[in-house]
Structure 1
Amino acid sequence: MQTTVKNEFSHVGTGVHLGRPVRITIKPAREGHGIIFKRTDVDHQISFIPANYKYLVEGKLCTSVANSHGVRVMTVEHLLAAFSGVGVTNALVEIDNEEVPILDGSSDRFVKSIIKAGIKEQEQSLSICKVTESLMVEDGSSWARFDPADKLILSVTIDYPGTLIGRQHLSLQMLKGAFIEELSSCRTFCLKADVQKMISKGLALGGSLKNAIVIDQFKILNSNGLRINDEFVRHKMLDALGDLALAGMPIFGHFTSFCGGHNLNTRLVTKLLSSEKCHNVYNLGRKEADKLLGSRYKVISMDYKAVG
């Protein structure tokens, strides 16, 4: 069944790229609403932006959506990953600037707030997208692909030669509480050598050691180090889940990427949903509901309190 949050909640923070203060408020929404952003700092008539691949706009180092009036919201991936990972399908996200706050650089605080607010099951059934044929997108030596599977599986490889990160690979079945337990607290990261380049392009203006892991070749500059040894590849999986959420419905398929990123992830979603032969959309049956990330969210809530 579709779900929404029981109670509204807010977060105040800074956009990691624009460096501007921002407040978001997540509110319950009706069945069939989906995840929709509402910019409260612009005229009401042009303020709504659905979190859907049809509204994607080109963004650097983040995922952004915009409506036909050019009103956009940047860096949506960590919030969308939280919604997807906990199983919230309908919500209104009011935001008073054009970038979602970075908070600690992960989805952790969003997830905790959603669980605290509560999740309400609604009457309308949930549609899912099932991958029926393999498809792939490439950019040089980097690539991302989908293969058919009866659940969502993420398999991600990253490679940063000459750094502490090196090559990392992880594959996870995204069932029940997997996102909360395995990925939600893993933070974004960057190389110190890239920081000035990003700033010169007007990016990473709100970045700091409080919201990102910074690596100087073989040294981590954050005093508290890593939360988990392979936090880097796990964060890339978190990003991927947030990007895949732009399908507007859960996806059952095996997602694999090699040195991928937001651009490849979102191109793959667009290609999947644009090809009738590569996917089917149907209402989720009760027997398959256990394969959703957000299934049995009450149990997940208890587990999360235990591990968080």
Structure 2
Amino acid sequence: MAANSASAGAVVRQQTLKNSIHCSGVALHSGAKVNMVLHPAEADTGIVFRRTDAAGGSEVQALWRNAVETPLCTTLVDGKGNQVATIEHLMSALNACGIDNAVIELNGAEVPIMDGSAAPFVFLIECAGVETQASPRRALRVLSEVSVAEPHRSASLAPGNGFTVGFEIEFPNTLIGRQEWFTEVNESAFKRDIARARTFGLAQDIEKMRAMGLARGGSLENAVVVNGHEVVNPEGLRFSNEFVRHKVLDSIGDLYLVGTPIIGHFQGERAGHALTLRLLHALFAEEDAWEWTELTVPAVAPAAGAQTQPARAVAARA
């Protein structure tokens, strides 16, 4: 995969896809078959979702201000009320692979679930190739801690070096139990430790979700199903702690709704998509808690794919 290459201190440039690439699959919640095409986009476009099936056309930028709280997934809504749902796994792959600009075309209201992880989307990005653009890449640097909470769950962003994520989950009386995990987020770590972790659910909740119009496309081919202290999937787990790793994967995707990489630490305690979105609203409401900063190549080269460090803050605000 192409990567930014420059001498120490040089400005890191934005990236897009080198070529368009197509895939198709089942939508997790609606059960509909969806065709999707990832297209290159001009610098400063951001990640834009375009629904080709919507009357009069539909485009919406993947930003926190365009997201709405929906059960069990991350959803964008355009000015006409058209939705694009279940974007979190694709957004996670785009974030980790350093794709700043892309147009995602869909002929339906939901991103295909593929195998329930981000690995198929990483593969698509690798097949399309990555192209460096002329414009500098910026990031959001967290300057002071911001947190949101409700009974038994919380989410926070705090200052840090690079981008790190910690997460804790607890599902009593199941195989999942209590799991904690912490990771630095960079491209190589994402591919190795995070991308393959699949979405999951409890067998006892499946009928209730389908009655709500959710998980109609769910199967053992795109989700891990836990029945008490057993994994129903014949192939078992990809990681012993696949459940908490998937929550980290979701968080990386949801946090990309900032519109840039984040320099800071995210901590989730039994948090979900809705709470993470509320955290982003809280962050941007605190103007002194963050700043934009351009990214430069570090003076000492890190391991391949590691997160570049910030240069100087610029005046622009969201």
Q: What is the TM-score with the length of structure 1 in the denominator?
A: 0.93
Rate the CA distance shift 1:38–1:294 in 2: closer, same or farther, 3 A.
farther
Distance 1:209 1:87 in 2: 30
Select the residue among 15, 34, 51 that pairs with 1:39.
51
Instruction: Supply the distance in 2 between the matched residues of 1:293 and 1:88 (Cα, whole angstroms).
Output: 16
Instruction: Give me the whole-angstrom Cα distance separating, in 2, the residues matched to 1:93 and 1:83.
Output: 11
Residue 203 of structure 2 contacts residue 225 of structure 2 at CA under 8 Å; is this kept in 1? Answer: yes
**1:216 paired to 2:227:** yes
> Which of 228, 231, 243 does residue 232 from structure 1 map onto?
243
Identify which of 23, 28, 53 aligns with 2:35.
23
Question: Which residue pairs with 1:101 in the alignment?
Answer: 112
Q: For residues 288 and 265 of structure 1, what CA distance do their matches in structure 2 show?
A: 33
- Cα deviation for residue 191 of structure 1 reads 0.2
Superposed displacement of residue 294, structure 1: 5.5
Q: CA deviation at 1:290?
A: 6.5
Match of 2:158 among 147, 150, 175: 147
Take 2:280 and 2:299, find their aligned partners in 1: how far apart are those partners? 22
Give the superposition deviation at 1:220: 0.5
Distance 1:67 1:175 in 2: 31
Q: Does structure 2 retain, via aligned residues, the 8 Å contact 1:79–1:242?
A: yes
Q: Partner residue of 1:244?
A: 255
Of 87, 92, 95 in structure 2, the residue corresponding to residue 84 of structure 1 is 95
Distance (whole Å) between structure 2 residues aligned to residue 286 and residue 270 of structure 1: 30
Which residue identity lines up with residue 129 of structure 2 in the other structure? G
Partner secondary structure for residue 177 of structure 1: helix
CA contact (8 A) 2:96 2:186 kept: no
Q: Does structure 1 residue 114 correspond to structure 2 residue 108?
A: no
1:72 is matched with 83
Deviation at 1:164, TM superposition (A): 0.2
CA deviation after TM superposition for structure 1 residue 168, in Å: 0.3
Flag the 1:121–1:292 CA change in 2: closer, same or farther, 3 A. Answer: farther
Shift of 1:192: 0.3
CA 1:220–1:200 in structure 2 vs 1: closer, same or farther (change >3 Å)? Answer: same
Task: Please tell me the residue identity of whatever aligns with 1:14.
Answer: V
Say whether 1:2 aligns with 2:14: yes
Partner Cα distance (1:20, 1:143) in 2: 33
Correspondence 1:163-202 to 2 at 5 A? 163-202=174-213
Contact 1:175 1:292 in 2 (8 A): no
Paired residues, number: 296
Shift of the 32–113 alpha-carbon distance from structure 1 to 2, 3 Å rule, reads: same
SS of equivalent residue, structure 1 residue 208:
coil
More strand by share: 2
Q: Secondary structure at the match of 2:73?
A: coil
**CA 1:41–1:176 in structure 2 vs 1: closer, same or farther (change >3 Å)?**
closer
In the alignment, what sits opposite 1:305? none
Give, in angstroms, the shift of residue 274 of structure 1.
2.8
Paired letter, 1:20: A
Would you say the 8 A contact 1:174–1:292 is kept in 2? no
Q: Quick one: which amino acid aligns to residue 122 of structure 2?
A: V
Gaps of 5+ in 1: 297-308
User: Sequence identity, in percent?
Assistant: 37
Instruction: Out of 94-103 and 259-268, give the one that drifted further.
Output: 259-268
Question: CA-atom RMSD, angstroms?
Answer: 1.8
1:286 to partner: Cα distance: 2.2
The runs of 5 or more residues in structure 2 that have no matched partner are 1-12, 308-318
SS of residue matched to 2:260 = coil
Pairing 1:279–2:290 present: yes
Partner deviation per Cα, 1:10-42 (whole Å, 9 max, x = no partner): 110111001111010000000000000000002
Q: Is residue 69–residue 277 contact of structure 2 (8 Å, CA) maintained in 1?
A: no
**One-letter amino acid of the counterpart of residue 3, structure 1:** Q
Measured in 1, the distance between the counterparts of 2:274 and 2:78 equals: 19
Q: How far does residue 67 in structure 1 lie from its aligned partner after superposition? A: 0.9
- 8 Å Cα contact 2:149/2:155 also seen in 1: yes
> Is 1:257 matched up with 2:268?
yes
Higher percent of residues as helix:
1
